[in-house]
Amino acid sequence: MTNDLAGVAQLLVCGGRGIMVLDEPPQSCNARFARLGIAPTAEQRRAYRELLIGAPGIERYVSGAVLDDETIRRGTADGRRFVDVLRARGIVPGIRLEASNANLAEYAALGAGIAAMRGDAPTLARFAARCQQSGVVPVIEPDVPSDGEETLEECAQVTSRALRRLFAELAEAEVAFEALILTTNTIAPGTALRQHVSTADVVSATLRVLGATVPVAVAGVAFVAGAQHDHLAAERLCALNKTMPRRRPWPLTFTYDRALQQAVLVAWRGRAEHTAEAQRVLLHRAHCNGLAACGAYTSKIEDQLDTFVPPLAA
């Protein structure tokens, strides 16, 4: 089973594709809707998820989709389950869990092939072990604050300690690293500090920390965008992938929520007649991040939305 999971994990992080995060619970999703005047209803949440999951050609850039409990149990207006739509397009459905003792067998039966969690090292180690025993690829993120006043070097120190402890606990729990995806932040000052640092400094610090703490056997590293603007997240991911391969022995890709979706929500605003345009915005954003995961992104691509032609569905 480990070999099968390792194959899934490797597919999730290679080829310029990344993970789309759709894991906001209803209350959080409704709050985002309300800020844009979108009705905070179950039907609007379903329509929005269908917009994202059903975007023609999204599978060119997205390898996995992390869902919340509501979404993994729901489907399209014409009766197809979201997990079936994803799998038919070669996208691995997943679930976000808040507790290590969650019913993984139930979610696996619903179609989840990956399970994501953020937490402390012991909790994540237990969770990852249970995932692999249940035939699900764990996507784990150590709980490292990024919204304080930490300097770049302080962020590096805190992240280093968290990752060292995490991989010690994972080894103790006999988790197979090759069937595991690490989700983490890039090394940058806390957002409250409002300190400007260059992309080169972020890349250097990030690779230094990862190189000192993450085993080479890990299937891949997927970066969260956090509070970074979507353009900045793509710029930093691209720069990381442009470095010498020996400095990044793992595939480096994205696991984005707002960095993929915020512009989409603004374009859609809950109106069915805006769905096609919102999907075009999504595909352009995903295209930018896919290029970044290959080291081929440039800021000029951001100016090409008006002329961007979405790919045909595979």
pLDDT one-digit tens code per residue, 243-299:
988 889 999 999 999 889 999 999 999 999 999 999 999 999 999 999 999 999 998
Model confidence, pTM: 0.94
Q: Cα-atom radius of gyration of the chain, to the nearest Å? A: 18
Q: Are 18 and 63 within 8 A, CB to CB?
A: yes
3-state secondary structure of 216: coil
3-state secondary structure of 173: coil
Which pLDDT tens digit goes with each residue over 155-191? 999 999 999 999 999 999 999 999 999 999 999 987 7
Reference 212, options 274, 154, 162, 263; nearest CA is: 162
Lowest pLDDT segment from 36-40, 44-48, 151-155: 151-155
Please give the pLDDT value at position 99: 76
Q: For the chain, where are the alpha helices, taking DSSP H only?
A: 2-12, 26-35, 42-53, 69-72, 82-88, 104-110, 121-133, 152-172, 199-213, 230-241, 258-268, 275-292
6 pLDDT more than 60: yes
Residues 6+ apart with CB under 8 A from 295: 238, 241, 242
Could you tell me the pLDDT band of residue 17, with boundaries at 50, 70 and 90? very high
Q: What is the mean pLDDT of residues 226-251?
A: 91
Q: Are 45 and 26 within 8 A, CB to CB?
A: yes
Residues 6+ apart with CB under 8 A from 77: 46, 47, 50
Please give the pLDDT value at position 314: 52
Q: What is the mean pLDDT of residues 32-47?
A: 96
Reference 21, options 64, 61, 51; nearest CA is: 64
Reference 149, options 184, 210, 190, 187; nearest CA is: 190
Reference 93, options 111, 81, 118, 105; nearest CA is: 111
Angle at which helix 258-268 crosses helix 42-53, to 10 degrees, equals 120
Amino acid at 305: L
Reference 19, options 186, 184, 256; nearest CA is: 256
311 pLDDT more than 70: no
Q: Are 6 and 176 within 8 A, CB to CB?
A: yes
Please give the pLDDT value at position 313: 55
Q: Where are the domains of the chain?
A: 2-295
Determine the Cα angle at 33 with ends 51 and 144, to 5°.
95
Please give the pLDDT value at position 201: 95
Spatial separation of the C-alpha atoms in residues 132 and 154, rounded to whole Å = 33
Architecture of the CATH domain 2-295: Alpha-Beta Barrel (3.20)
